[in-house]
Structure 1
Amino acid sequence: MTGIVIVRADESWPAQFEKIAGAVSHLLGETAQRIDHIGSTSVPGLAAKDILDMQVTVGTEPELDDVVERMVAADWEVRPPRRDHPVPGLPADDVQWVKRLVVEPMYRRRVNLHVRVAGRANQRYALLFRDYLRSHPETAAAYGEFKRRAAALPIESVGDYADLKDPVCDLIYLPAEEWAARTDWTP
């Protein structure tokens, strides 16, 4: 078993994000075009693992490794994967899914820091997915229930849990694209 625990939404998650984003911004300076709170902890009322997901957006692929080097120098740890899963209907080109992932220094608040290049499919995906769930609380509630049930399954690893969630997230994302077109959504 993985020990994945899904908890009720915590109203302090946004404030926790702001504090950590400030520290990350200080470390990265202008290399970070933007730092966003993404994932389930960024959606009010959504049950989640108590791990903050953050996205640092950079301008070029070489800057991905620059961010990693700076974060490692500050005791953050590099983790796999080095790319996101391709989403049906979006560009299949591997370059659209490249990312870096670093996690918090030992004994600090749990954070997954995803580093992606501006304008690529995976960078947009994280922001649109978040904004769609924020605008569709019923969909967010259904997704939360799926995550609770998935976490209760005898899954071998966190990676297996993520692999199980990916197609469900894609099922949410595809209508999010239609919603974005209708509402003139911009990240």
Structure 2
Amino acid sequence: MNEMKKHRTIVVIPYNPEWPSQFEAEAAALRPFFGDNLIALHHIGSTSVPRLAAKPTLDLLGVVKSLALVTETRSNFEALEYKSRGAFGIEGREFFVKGSPNPTHHLHVFEEGSAEILRHLAFRDYLRAHSKAAQEYAALKTKLAALYKLDPLRYQEGKSDWIKRVERQALEWAAHGNYTSK
């Protein structure tokens, strides 16, 4: 088990209305490190869904012209205390974590055209538009956090089937023009 997960504590808290402004501040700090390579920075994950309980970790999705350029300049992000984790299980991604052992930020970077971008944005927008699904997700995460407070892997595994099912629904929903990409 790696050190990041070994001492991490899973805590799910009620939605914090300051998360969007915290995203904006972090995005503003990150933009210069991407330079002209950056196309967009999106707020994703549970902290991007109003009224959704979440781990207090902001997820940012960067869309870039060249992922290779991000890989070459990984060390630049260390100035903002981001640590590179490489692809971290998702091909075509550069993943960075800020904060340890309990991360405060995750930065997921994909090259323009990656199917992963739509997957993340459609899931976020689906939860924003479907309060029942968001409530189910919050209840599941709260239950799993109580069961697996010191076991991040089991917490993630416990969410996996639910997320896969809702991602399929979200992608179908997005195929009908329902996601915003903002």
Unpaired segments ≥5 residues, structure 1 = 85-96
Alignment of 1:10-159 (within 5 A): 10-66=16-72, 68-79=74-85, 82-84=88-90, 97-104=91-98, 110-154=104-148, 157-159=151-153
Q: Which of the numbers 150, 166, 169 marks the counterpart of 1:172?
A: 166
Q: Which runs of 4+ in 1 moved over 3 A?
A: 154-157, 183-186
> How has the CA–CA distance of structure 1 residues 153 and 176 changed in structure 2, closer, same or farther, with 3 Å as cutoff?
same
In the TM superposition, residue 71 of structure 1 has moved relative to its aligned partner by 0.6
Using the TM superposition, give the Cα deviation of residue 115 of structure 1 relative to its aligned residue in structure 2, in angstroms: 1.2
Partner residue, 1:89: none
Q: Is the 1:83–1:100 contact (alpha carbons within 8 Å) kept by the matching residues of 2?
A: no
CA distance in 2 between counterparts of 1:78 and 1:144 reads: 29
Determine the C-alpha separation between the residues in 2 that align with 1:156 and 1:81. Answer: 24
Deviation at 1:48, TM superposition (A): 0.1
Aligned AA (1:78): S
Give the CA RMSD over aligned residues.
Answer: 2.5
Change (3 A) 1:64 1:28: closer
User: In the TM superposition, what is the alpha-carbon distance from 1:130 to its structure 2 partner?
Assistant: 0.5
Instruction: Give aligned pairs, total.
Output: 175
Residues 39 and 14 of structure 1, relative CA distance in 2, 3 Å threshold: same
Give the deviation of 1:70 after TM superposition. Answer: 2.1
Deviation at 1:73, TM superposition (A): 4.3
Distance across 1 between alignment mates of 2:81 and 2:13 = 27
- Assess, with a 3 A threshold, how the Cα gap between structure 1 residues 41 and 74 changes in structure 2: closer, same or farther: closer
TM-score, normalising length from structure 2? 0.84
Q: Please give the alpha-carbon distance, in whole angstroms, between the structure 2 residues aligned to 1:171 and 1:105.
A: 30
Structure 2: segments with no counterpart, 5+ residues = 1-6
Structure 1 window deviating more from structure 2 (71-80 vs 118-127): it is 71-80
